[in-house]
Structure 1
Amino acid sequence: MAKPNKKGPVKSVDIFCAKCGAKLYRYRKGGKGALVKCFKERITEDHTIELATCPDCKSVFGRDALVRGTPAIKIIGGKVRMK
């Protein structure tokens, strides 16, 4: 399978915890669909302390995964919001 584009998209989105509203990531997202995964190389700002865990309410919103041979975070549905 093809790897994700190295340069990445130019559109950035803010990702927030759906439970408490804390800012988690600033992410360069491609496409207009729902947020299913976050490639680690596209995260520009990381406000989390522990991987895929909200720093305020400590809820787990994703899990570590390899997608197309690239490290990523698979997002659990309904756990995050993006603007």
Structure 2
Amino acid sequence: MAKPNKKLPERSVDIICTKCKAMLFKYKKGGKGSLVKCFKERIVIDYTETPCECPSCGNVFARETLVRGTPAYKIIGGKVAMK
């Protein structure tokens, strides 16, 4: 499998917790589909203290995994939203 592109995409999105509306990431997203995974190298600003956990409500929103040999967060459906 091919690795993700080294050049970051143009589009920047805010990833927020659906439970408490707290800001989680500022992320460079490629494509126009829904958010399924977040590559760690594309996260511009990380607002979380512990990985995959909301800083304000403690909601677990993702799992750490390797996707195509690159570290990523696999998003749990319905736990986060994009702005």
Partner of 2:10: 10
Structure 2: how far apart are the matches of 1:31 and 1:8? 12
User: Moved runs in structure 1, 4+ residues, more than 3 A?
Assistant: none
Structure 2: how far apart are the matches of 1:13 and 1:80? 12
Identity of aligned residues (%): 67
Once the two structures are TM-superposed, the CA of residue 8 in structure 1 deviates from its matched residue by 1.9
Question: For structure 1, which runs of at least 5 residues remain unmatched after alignment?
Answer: none
Question: For structure 2, which runs of at least 5 residues remain unmatched after alignment?
Answer: none
- Note the alpha carbon deviations across 1:7-29, whole angstroms, 9 max, x for none: 12011000000000000000000
Once the two structures are TM-superposed, the CA of residue 31 in structure 1 deviates from its matched residue by 0.4
TM-score for the superposition, normalised by structure 2 = 0.99
Once the two structures are TM-superposed, the CA of residue 40 in structure 1 deviates from its matched residue by 0.1
- Note the alpha carbon deviations across 1:31-77, whole angstroms, 9 max, x for none: 01000000000000000000010000000000000000000000000
TM-score for the superposition, normalised by structure 1 = 0.99
